[in-house]
A = this chain, B = another copy of it.
């Protein structure tokens, strides 16, 4: 509930993107729920003809005093009773009588939460799609761009940047699938009345619930879910999953952008006005190129796990309406969707503009002097020397290379004792060079890139644009 998307002092950081979870969005979503209920009641014959349209016509957030509703919320613990009163006052008596009929405050708040979620998930999906598209492009373009793989932050064996981007892509696409399923299946109408029986509607309750689901574009659940909060957890967990995928990408970018690594850097945008400088630039430290987008993404994604925990804990709700646990959901639910949305928005920008320094990638790979390929050389020698001797020879050579800071090739072919054994094995210098060529030791890299791209195209074909 942090004000409008993208506004305020920190809004461009933590509320970027189109996922609007601010107060105005909540108010409108509550009004949409009340209007849809009036239309449903009319369709069910429980409200006078025209009442649905009359309520819908006045159910516009800008006709209400948000501050006054907020103050009234202190009387009941939620803003719905005040809203119902204010809404009724804008209507002729017959239509007013249809307002909120059969409903309880929680019905309206929970439906509003689902509408907020629907719109936030759509916004997140759009940004994730853009990010995935950029990752796919990087995966294809850098399929053969050699870089050194790193494990525990140590250089290990070669990969390509295309594979790195394909991994990002696979994560993004998995997250998109999960969100699409939740959006489709788990956003459901809540309509149960005072205690989940819809008693005040007599026999008509289930029919009105069905119509309400139809009007709101939400699923009809098996039962009212007023104190069965699994779907809140599921929405939150799916958004948190997307956030986690984005955090991994941003972490990689901050690491690859380090001054000493310098394999990628973020594209630069200019500021909103002259004199604002460029994104990531520093006038007093001209050599710095701060990875602002990646940093902001992490600033968002690291807030998410705690909010997910809060929502999961809040699912322990008493009887037919919780005394506090339900109320504890509203802020973290909004916040989690907002932060995931902001991270997605920044990630779309980050990946679209990412600059890749292929020369630096190659140089960093070469800086280990061939040691990441040592195993490959051992296999070259194995047929002639036997597996154990070949391995021993390479282990000796590698140890010397590390000790001297020399390339493995120079040690192998330059140290007389070792060179002699290599020659005796009938292995030439060219063969050694070939074995030390990282492009020859990429295994399934290209296969994996193909798989990720194919899965991406299949997903594109089945997800709504």
Contacts and interface: CB of A to CB of B under 8 A. Distances in A.
Contacts of A399: 286
B248 A316 contact: yes
A356 interface: no
Chain A to chain B: the 4 pairs with minimum beta-carbon distance, closest first: A298-B324, A149-B195, A299-B327, A151-B321
A252 B447 CA distance: 36
Nearest to A7: B67
A348 interface: no
A201 interface: yes
A375 B227 CA distance: 24
Given A330-B10, A395-B286, A156 B66 contact: no
A149 B196 contact: yes
Interface string A256-288: 011111000000010111011111110111111
A216 to B, nearest CB: 19
Most chain B C-beta atoms within 10 Å of own C-beta, residue among A194, A244, A324 = A324
A57 interface: no
A203 B445 CA distance: 10
A415 interface: no
Contacts of A398: 286-287
Contacts of A14: 1, 331
Interface residues of A, number: 183
A26 B166 CA distance: 31
9 contacts: A2-B2, A12-B74, A76-B290, A76-B292, A77-B292, A151-B320, A152-B321, A156-B195, A284-B374
A302 interface: yes
Given A206-B447, A290-B152, A73 B9 contact: yes
A323 B151 CA distance: 7
B206 A257 contact: no
A153 interface: yes
A82 interface: yes
A197 interface: yes
A214 to B, nearest CB: 17
A318 interface: yes
A120 interface: no
A341 interface: no
Interface stretch (A40-48, A171-179, A416-424, A425-433): A171-179
Interface string A1-26: 11100111111111010000001001
Interface in A340-383: 364, 367-369, 371-372, 374-376
A248 B447 contact: no
Contacts of A317: 248, 251
A228 B206 contact: no
Contact of A277 (B3, B75, B276): B75
Contact of A10 (B73, B302, B322): B73
Contacts of A76: 277, 279-280, 290, 292
A451 B318 CA distance: 22
Interface in A127-182: 148-159, 163-164, 166-167, 170-171, 173-175, 178
A461 interface: no
A176 to B, nearest CB: 11
A193 interface: yes
Interface in A296-340: 296-310, 312-328, 330-332, 335
A444 B197 contact: yes
B251 A316 contact: yes
Contacts of A275: 85
B387 A97 contact: yes
Most chain B C-beta atoms within 10 Å of own C-beta, residue among A1, A85, A195, A451 = A195
A287 B159 contact: no
A295 interface: yes
Contact of A258 (B97, B153, B441): B153
Contact of A259 (B150, B222, B308): B150
A284 B222 CA distance: 27
A153 B255 contact: yes
Nearest to A458: B222
A52 interface: no
